[in-house]
Amino acid sequence: MPARWEGYLKRWTQAGLIDHAAAARIRAYEVQQGKAGGLRWPVLLALGLGGLLVAAGVLLFVAAHWDRLSPATRFTCVTLMVALFHVAGALVAERFPPLATSLHAIGTVCLGAGIFLSGQIFHLQEHWPTGVLLWALGAFMAWALLRDWPQAALAAVLTPMWLGGEWLEATQRLSGGGIILSEGLILLAISYLTGILPDKETPVRKALMWLGGLALIPATLLLILLRDGGFSFRWTPSTLPLSYQVIGWLAAFLLPLAVAVWLRRQQAWVNLLAAAWVWALGTTILSRAVVGEGFLPFLWRELGPYLLCALGSVGLIAWGLKEARKERINLGVAGFALTILFFYFSSVMDKLGRAASLMGLGLLFLLGGWLLEKTRRRLVARLDAGGS
């Protein structure tokens, strides 16, 4: 949350009461004081875990006594559950802002439970994506009022969850929807991950960076596992109509790119290259009925995912070097290591004997891990040398 003095400082500067040099000195002093009086990581960890435990305890308590409560009591509990934490957060905002941030985050989490429990109380029509939409709107409203990064993170998670839920409901009896959804999630994860820039390191951007970094590799694995519908959402022989395909592909690519433009402005052109990579990766998991039975289609289907994942990992490392972001280098190295490991398990290990395959796996871990870690440290050291 921005400090209150920031607003006053901006107003005084615009009114001409102080000049820009004095404003810069005041801002530097306040930032330094904030760092000196900042909380250490054990306190922040305790606040985060405490918030999660309190939210889980409240939800479990309500669930345990749910059948014994009347509808009026149920709705009262739901309302109090949402309001209580926000009121408590407002009361402690001046004395302990980090605690207020945790309490407001718990209140927004409880809002989601309250929405779905209210639907159960009043026997509303079942369409769960609408409940997620209301939850996301609540998170956006909380973010607009509080400017806390947990509210922005919740909105950033709930919004694609709502869109993905609507897509799953619309395509539940059709095949091919999982590919479009997975590609959209990969590109959105990249947009979140690269939203933080050297001159723009706000708490909200850091939260988005963490969300993107945690989601990128699982979303990529999900796309690859959709090969031939082997791991698809409610797979049936039907195919998506052309209108669904157009709407799905436009949303899967344009919406994440719009997020990238919002976060990166002119530097979002690199995300276009990432979008081309995501599209190419999607072509490697198309069915044989689409790409044919020739040697080149077979080679592309068998080796294409590994080649593109390795290329994407190297590209992410280069992107991190270009914009001086260590997390992209670390994630790129991890992605490259996982690509080599999956290639060994799927294409090499079954062609060797038991002893040879185990020895090869051991050498892969020992030598490959050493080389990758050595390369990662060299790249990070290059960033540190360039920054100093």
Amino acid at 119: G
Closest CA to 250 of 167, 192, 162, 172: 167
Report phi then psi at 92, rounded to 5: -100, 10
For residue 226, the 8-state DSSP code is T
Q: What is the pLDDT of residue 295?
A: 61
Report phi then psi at 283, rounded to 5: -70, -20
Q: What is the pLDDT of residue 95?
A: 81
Q: Where exactly are the structural domains of the chain?
A: 1-38, 45-170, 174-280, 287-388
Single pTM value for the model: 0.79
Beta bridge partners of 239: 175
Amino acid at 131: G
Closest CA to 118 of 72, 83, 163, 159: 72
- Residues of the chain falling short of pLDDT 70: 1-7, 30-45, 47-48, 51-52, 55, 58-59, 61-67, 69, 123-124, 227-238, 286-295, 298, 347-366, 384-388
Residue 107 CA to residue 80 CA, distance in Å, equals 10
CB 317 within 8 A of CB 383: no
> Which alpha helices (DSSP H) does 226-352 contain, by range?
242-264, 269-283, 288-291, 295-323, 326-343
Q: What is the pLDDT of residue 151?
A: 94
Residue for token digits 């409203």? 141
- Summarised one tens digit per residue, pLDDT across range 314-347 is 999 999 988 888 899 999 989 998 888 888 777 6
Residue 154 CA to residue 156 CA, distance in Å, equals 5
- Summarised one tens digit per residue, pLDDT across range 54-85 is 767 766 766 666 667 677 777 787 788 788 88
Amino acid at 251: A
CB 284 within 8 A of CB 299: no
For residue 176, the 8-state DSSP code is S
Q: For the residues of 284-311, what is the DSSP string, one character each?
A: TT--HHHH-SSHHHHHHHHHHHHHHHHH
Question: Which H or E run contains 364?
Answer: none
Beta bridge partners of 200: 197
